[in-house]
Every structure is written in C-alpha cells, then in structure tokens.
Structure 1
C-alpha cells in the first residue's frame, strides 16, 4: 500500500529518481556539555546509507568544489537539553566567492517531510551555484531521517508487500484490511523506533536548525525551504523570529489547515495538474498518443486504474503494477512538468500491458532503489506527520468524507482521503491541529507561490503570508506548472529570489512571474 499522506507535503526534489550523496564526519563535541560550542569535523562525504537512498558518493560541483560532510550533536529531547544526544547529518559546499563577500551559510530543507537533505542538495547543487558565490550551501537530514537517528519500521521485503496492497478500499472487508495493515505498520514503527518517535516533531527540527545556526557561526539563519520545508521554516520563524535572516519559502504549505483540509486541497491540486497535463498533451501539433481530447486522456486513465484493480499487469518482475502503484506513479510524475513526458510514455506502455515505467515512478515516490532497497522516507514521513498532527481519523470518518474528495478529483479523491488514517493507533500523540507560524518581529520572508502547484496549492502561499503576520511576508507569484517555482528554472523567479538572497533586495509585494 502506498502512503498517500506523504503527498500532502512532498518536495519537488523527491520526484528525482533515486538521488545520490551523503554524509559522515564526527563533531568533536564540547566537553562542558554546551552543544553550541561543538566544532564540526568536515570530511569528504561517503556514499549514501540505505536510509538516505543509497547510491554513490556525491560528485564534485562543475568547478571542482567538493562536498563535505559532518555530524552535529543535538539533544534527543529538547525538554532535557543536557540529556542524551543524537547525531544530525550535515553536508556543505563552501562559498565560491571571496571571503569578504561571503554572507554566511544558506541552509536548505527540501521537504517531505522525510527527505534527506544530505542526498538531495548535491543532486541539485549546481542549480544553486549563483547563490554559492556568497553562501556556503548547507543541508541536513532532519531528525528521524536518513542518518539522523532514522525511524525504522518495516524491512525492504515487507515494504514491497506493503506498497502492493490496496490503498482505496471498496467495501467493508477491504476497509478492515486497510485499517489492519496501517495498524501493523505503525506497530512496527513503535517496536523498532520507540526511543526517537516522541522527538521528531517539526518544533524539534526547528530547534535543531537554531543550534545548527550557532554551530555554523552565523548570527542569523539564512534559509531556503521547499514544500514541507516552508512549514519547518515558518515554525522556526515563530520560535526564533529575531534569528531569521534572508529566508525564501517556495512551494508553500498552508499552515492554517488541519490534515483533512490539507488533503482535500491537495486532491484538487493534483486534479488541476492532471487537467493541465491532459490539455498540454492534446494541444500539441503532434498527435497525443494517450488520447484525442483532454477528457479522453482522463477517461482512459480512469479506465486503466479500474482495470488494474481487477487485474494488475507486469511491472518490475516479480512485482506487478497494481491500481495503487499506478496512481502513486501518476501522482509522482505530476510534481514537475519535466516528468510529463515520462507519464505519457508510462501510460502508453501500460495500455499495452507494460507497467514498468509507472512502477519506477511509484518506486521513486516510495524511496525504492533499483536494487530493491528503500530509504526511510515513508517511515520518517509518517512519524513526523503523526508527531505534528493532533487529529486521528477513523475509517468511518473517511467513508463519510469520500463524496467531497471524489468531487475534488475522481482519480485522486479516494487515494488521498484514505491516507488520512495513516496515524491510526500511532504510539505518540500529535501536537496540534496545524502549526503556529506567527512571527512578529521577523525579517522579511519571501513567499513564492505557483498557480499550477499540485502538492502545495497556490492558495497556501497567501495563507502562509497572512499567518506569518503583518510586515513579515513578501509574496511572489509564479504562473507555472509543477511543485515549487525556483527549480522550474524560470528566469524571472530565479532573478528575484537571487537578488533577495544575494543583495537583500526585497521584491515588490504582489510581484508576478509568468
């Protein structure tokens, strides 16, 4: 069974199939117990761990600059800062410009929650090369993720079975099976990760970031958050408003919504992205191979999914492409317009009985590598969401809400609605209905919304701006497709973001790039 709850906050960067890169190094640890005084031991980065996604050690940047890795000690329990510690995995590339022009460190969080920043930053590092002229580029595996005290739930073989199971039940027996499988998964998380589960909330990660700021020697936290990274950034700004430096939120999470509202908004967002994909395919001068009109494209996809529920097709042998895996793969490909061609190829192949492409897209969403090993993104995503989110939804509640979800999207409605039960019987209570991001006194935060964003709908940017408080947020709108805006490589967006981060020039409020 897929974990559709992760779609609520997934980052654009999680769409890249099987990223590579990683960390290591040991902090020397302050002997007096003052963690802010610890010195980081930066070393060459090793190959990524399985929990980070596997692969090869990160390659140098185009100009030959090397990636360096280290670990930072942080309290296991921020309520007991002198107690046990955990290691937070870090990665950096030093600033390329002259030292007297260096601003400090620019810390990235690419979202998820559950994505490894240590593996993601090198995969996209060259995209931020202009920012490296004045910043050290820094990212980290948040607690519970990758090599930072990772949450562990099920084995690779167990996850293969888990992700093959039906995530959209059609009758009471299938609903009972889904609830039971969710309980079993969550029980495995508790059994294997009991010590870390109470300490992976976003507020914990935000406190880790302020410790990181101090250990890096920066007076202010300069920050680039994408997707869930915008929620983490908002929580940081709420806790430490006077410590915010130049900050960009891209692909913005709506902080005012509870999980149900967020899932419903995302359901509509993925439907919009599917509509745009179908329109794009059928409007080209060359024939669209998967339908004659936008409605024909969507009708054929719906028929494929219905057929797969009855009879899965060959995927990645011995695994078969199920309805759930196909839906997951389609959703994955809607995160970026760059992936639309793979969706077209995958659908065309699936209509001929070959599900390999859609299966690979689904595997990418689930963090499965080509050798069958899984990163811990699903485990970490569930743990962080369940630590943050107070509501615990039941199957009966979801059943009652299905009509509204189906109205938002006939294709994705059931899939995202049933993801709401992911925290059923979770071992740790959730913190709140939604995060508090009010940040009076913070420096300006550039909030970038994308009108075609499927995962974090455009309305979230305005609500984040309002929630941050008067005089804090500066909004920038990108009229585009895909999740986030900066990585679309739109020159207007990148120019305004770069000018703010490099020169402190705040765009005019309400600026639009198209």
Structure 2
C-alpha cells in the first residue's frame, strides 16, 4: 500500500538517484509499448513459501519502450490458476498492491485467500514492477542520508548529503534505475497482457496501484478491460499538494481513532477528544526534546512516534493495539508497543532463508518512482536558497493542517529537489476514452484521501465511485460491501449507475 513513512527529505530525495532518463520529456506523450508478445514459461517460484499451485516466471521487457534495442530488464511474475474454471473462466486478472515499491508476488503469496472468489474464475497474476522485489531490484546500499526529524538541517549540507546518496544509489543499482516510473511500468503491463495472450487487461490496483491503472487506461484505452482502483491516488496534485493532503488525511484518521478510543474503557486520553488530540501532540513534542529509551538502548524520538502512529492508522484492526501502545508510552514511559508498528510493512522471507531483494529496495523504489512522476523540481532549482525558501514559505501551512503529521510530510516536498524533472504525462490525463471503471474511496483513509477519488473520477471521465464510509486504507480488504461491488463488476461486468455507498462496518 502507499507508504507515508518517508523520514525526511534527506532519506527521500537521494533515493531518486540518476533519473536522467527515467521518464519521457515533459510535454511529450509516451510512445506505446513495443515488441511482440512472447509466451510465458511458468515454473517453480524462487522464494518460498508460496501457496499450493502458485507458479512463477520472468518476462524480459525493453528498458526503454521508445528505444527497445537499448537493452532489457526482467519482470518477475506469479500466477494462481483459476480454481473453478468450469464456472466460466474469465482469463487473467492483474494485481498491483501499491507502494510504489510493493512486491506483488510476496503480497499475493502472503494472502491469496483475500481474492478467493475472484480466483475461482480468474487466473490471478501478480508482478513485481521494474526495480522492485525480484524484478532487477534497485538499492542505495542500505544507507540513508543524515537529517531525520521534523525540520531540515543546514540546507547546503543537506543538499550535499542527498547528492552523495544519489551516487550510492547509482553504484548499487543497475541500469533499471534510469528507467523507473509509472509510465514505464504501465508499458510493462501491456507487455504482460500480450505475453499472457489477453485481448484486454483486467486489473485490480490498490493505493499507488490506482495511479498505475489510470496511466495504463490513458496509454491504452482500447486495451483496457474491467478495471478497479481502490484507495485512489492523485493524478493532478503537485508533490506539495499531495503532501498536504496526506497530512490532512492522517490527521483525520487520528481524530477518528481518538473518538473511537474515547468510547472505550481505559483509554489513556480519557473521553474528551479535543484534549486527547492535544495530548498526542504533546507526547510527540516531548519525545522530540527528550526521547524515550527504545529496544537495544536506542532513542525513540517524536519522529519514530509519528511513524508508528501513522502506520497503525492504516487499518482499524490495529486500533486496539495502538490504544494499548499509547497507554504504555504515556503511563510507563515505555515505547515498546509503538516500536512494534515500525516493523517492515512488506512480507519478508522466512527466518534463515536468504532473499535476493535488498533490504532498502522498497524505500529506494518508492522515491525513484515518485520523482520520475514529478515534473516540478529540475536541477536548476537544486540550491540551498531554494530549499530554505520553500520550507520557510510552507512550514506554517503544513503545521496548520496537522501539528504532528504536517512537519514530517513537509519534508517530502523536497524529495526530488535537484533531480531532472519527471514526466508531466500523468498530470495531463483528461478523459482518455477508456471503458467505464470502478473506483473505491474510503472516507477515513489516512493515505489516499477521499477527495482524490472524486478528482480522479472526473479526470478519467468514465468512472463509477463506491463511497466507503469507513476508516483505514482501501476498502476491499475490510468491507464486504465493497468486495461485493468489486467482485460483481470483475466477474459479471455489473457496474452500478452513479455513486454507491458502503456503510462503515459492512
């Protein structure tokens, strides 16, 4: 799912690395995927465990679809064959779990039961996007630049540290780092469609995967089949507006959590939700000044607390544990419960099993993709004065949105400073002529605010919205009502007329 856990600009920016050829020139329309469809030879999966019947393969695609003679990169695929094809097999359904940087194969292997009904008639196809997971993964050597915290250090020193990390990314990643971005992956998806022998691409994407689906529909409207986008990402917002919307969404989710907590016996913040919000803000400020002692004697700061709270807000099933963790921190000065939310979000290999995926791959891919999709910050703006000016002009605006999430999200606006401007193709998507599709937005989503669902629906011009009134990130995993609409559309082509609502808890 979309990860809102970038620590600072220093951590984020340098991971963009050498994006000199990462996206089409601004103002130009991407060329279609090239080459002929090739068959896929399915075999055993390289990393275990996997569900019974899962098969894996690789597909070579051009590094640059506009210049296919310039080399290839390898895309890792997995398939769960339809379990009840006699009911009427519908072909293949491509899945994307978001990120950017989420390894689709590992996620499908971890929880195939979520899509059991769809899997009866569809072959479920997962893939690791280029640069991610088993698909020629990018890395920055596991090193993060200095400067964590809610405010940047000296801008000149920070910019130098970011550029140094760019060079580390170049050293630890192959040529694929230069060709990362949503437009490239959308072209890869059409190559996957052709290799599978499908006339149309049927697709279910979550979080960032919704941006990927929308770009595919804009590039290949005639090849788009039944498409569902859940937890809808923005197509139009600048990196600054995205960061503001994310901070606003996180604060809204925290407010919902505190209201929920206030109605539970033993909530550490009592029954007054206004003062509860103030107490959470005070906890973070206190940890910024005087960190608690975390596991292994390491300091647990306000930055870690904000990351932990933000992670816990993704799913309402985590809320009881978050309430207990906050109580432990407030009453016992012990951050152990909050630390539990800082574990890696991605599925990992079993203990003792070596993985081919670098430990920092998800974060490296996250920033590389986001910067390839951002046309605003070119090399000519990469100077300390510009950094200081932007932070100074935006800091109060971000803090007004959220006292704790705003300052951290502000740092993400620097993520692409000094890198070549990315493509503007995504921002120019407007009524691409794709078939009608289904969009799911959740009102209390901390990562992809509901406003983005409405905005993207307007830009696609062919979308029906399911308005999920609940909390948490995306609707399909937690709402039977949402699953009913999604599964009905994907299996039977049923698409409601106009917006439909799914109440919270249903």
- In which range does the TM-score fall when normalised by the shorter chain? 0.7 to 0.9
Which residue number corresponds to residue 196 of structure 1? Answer: 176
User: Structure 1 residue aligned with 2:148, among 153, 157, 166?
Assistant: 166
Runs of 4+ in 1 over 6 A off after TM superposition: 366-373
Matched, 1:396 2:389: yes
The Cα offsets for residues 406-456 of structure 1, whole Å up to 9 and x where unpaired, read as 111111010001111111233x43112853433533221101111111111
Which residue number corresponds to residue 186 of structure 1? Answer: 166
1:330-349 alignment, distance < 5 Å: 330-349=309-328
Matched, 1:258 2:238: yes
Asked whether the equivalents of residues 95 and 132 of structure 1 are also in contact (C-alpha less than 8 Å), the reply is yes
SS at match of 2:68: coil
SS at match of 2:498: coil
State the Cα distance separating 1:368 from its structure 2 match. Answer: 8.8
SS at match of 1:435: helix
Which residue number corresponds to residue 251 of structure 2? Answer: 271
Matched, 1:153 2:156: no
Between the aligned partners of 2:472 and 2:315, the Cα distance in structure 1 is 4
Which residue number corresponds to residue 17 of structure 2? Answer: none
Between the aligned partners of 1:262 and 1:296, the Cα distance in structure 2 is 28
Between the aligned partners of 2:465 and 2:151, the Cα distance in structure 1 is 40
The Cα offsets for residues 174-233 of structure 1, whole Å up to 9 and x where unpaired, read as 555554443333332233336222211111000000000011111100000111111000
Asked whether the equivalents of residues 448 and 461 of structure 1 are also in contact (C-alpha less than 8 Å), the reply is yes
Which residue number corresponds to residue 469 of structure 2? Answer: 479
Asked whether the equivalents of residues 76 and 128 of structure 2 are also in contact (C-alpha less than 8 Å), the reply is yes
Asked whether the equivalents of residues 477 and 512 of structure 1 are also in contact (C-alpha less than 8 Å), the reply is yes
SS at match of 1:484: coil
Which residue number corresponds to residue 26 of structure 2? Answer: none
Between the aligned partners of 1:91 and 1:368, the Cα distance in structure 2 is 16
State the Cα distance separating 1:36 from its structure 2 match. Answer: 3.5
State the Cα distance separating 1:500 from its structure 2 match. Answer: 0.5
State the Cα distance separating 1:367 from its structure 2 match. Answer: 8.5
Which residue number corresponds to residue 81 of structure 1? Answer: 68
SS at match of 1:88: strand
Which blocks of at least 5 consecutive residues in structure 2 are unaligned?
A: 10-33, 378-385
TM-score, normalised via structure 2 length:
0.85
Asked whether the equivalents of residues 268 and 408 of structure 1 are also in contact (C-alpha less than 8 Å), the reply is yes
Between the aligned partners of 1:323 and 1:183, the Cα distance in structure 2 is 27
1:80-119 alignment, distance < 5 Å: 80-99=67-86, 101-119=88-106
State the Cα distance separating 1:369 from its structure 2 match. Answer: 8.8
The Cα offsets for residues 314-368 of structure 1, whole Å up to 9 and x where unpaired, read as 2231533222122111111111111112222222222223223322322335989
Asked whether the equivalents of residues 69 and 90 of structure 1 are also in contact (C-alpha less than 8 Å), the reply is yes
User: Structure 2 residue aligned with 1:211, among 191, 202, 205?
Assistant: 191
User: Alpha carbons of 1:272 and 1:433: their partners in 2 closer, same or farther (altered >3 Å)?
Assistant: farther
Higher relative contact order (CA 8 A, sep 6+): 2
1:346-365 alignment, distance < 5 Å: 346-351=325-330, 352-365=332-345
Which residue number corresponds to residue 449 of structure 1? Answer: 441
User: Structure 2 residue aligned with 1:512, among 476, 480, 501?
Assistant: 501
User: Structure 2 residue aligned with 1:125, among 100, 104, 112?
Assistant: 112
Asked whether the equivalents of residues 367 and 378 of structure 1 are also in contact (C-alpha less than 8 Å), the reply is no
Between the aligned partners of 2:474 and 2:313, the Cα distance in structure 1 is 12
Matched, 1:44 2:23: no
Which blocks of at least 5 consecutive residues in structure 1 are unaligned?
A: 7-33, 48-56
Which residue number corresponds to residue 411 of structure 1? Answer: 404
Asked whether the equivalents of residues 315 and 321 of structure 1 are also in contact (C-alpha less than 8 Å), the reply is yes
SS at match of 1:394: helix
State the Cα distance separating 1:99 from its structure 2 match. Answer: 4.7
- Which range is displaced more, 133-142 or 317-326? 317-326
SS at match of 1:225: strand
State the Cα distance separating 1:97 from its structure 2 match. Answer: 1.1
The Cα offsets for residues 107-137 of structure 1, whole Å up to 9 and x where unpaired, read as 1111111111111112221011000111011
**Count of aligned pairs between the two proteins:** 462
Which residue number corresponds to residue 220 of structure 2? Answer: 240
Between the aligned partners of 1:212 and 1:439, the Cα distance in structure 2 is 25
Aligned CA-pair RMSD: 2.5
TM-score, normalised via structure 1 length:
0.84
User: Alpha carbons of 1:432 and 1:127: their partners in 2 closer, same or farther (altered >3 Å)?
Assistant: same
State the Cα distance separating 1:5 from its structure 2 match. Answer: 8.0
Asked whether the equivalents of residues 376 and 421 of structure 2 are also in contact (C-alpha less than 8 Å), the reply is no
User: Alpha carbons of 1:102 and 1:5: their partners in 2 closer, same or farther (altered >3 Å)?
Assistant: farther
Asked whether the equivalents of residues 110 and 347 of structure 2 are also in contact (C-alpha less than 8 Å), the reply is no
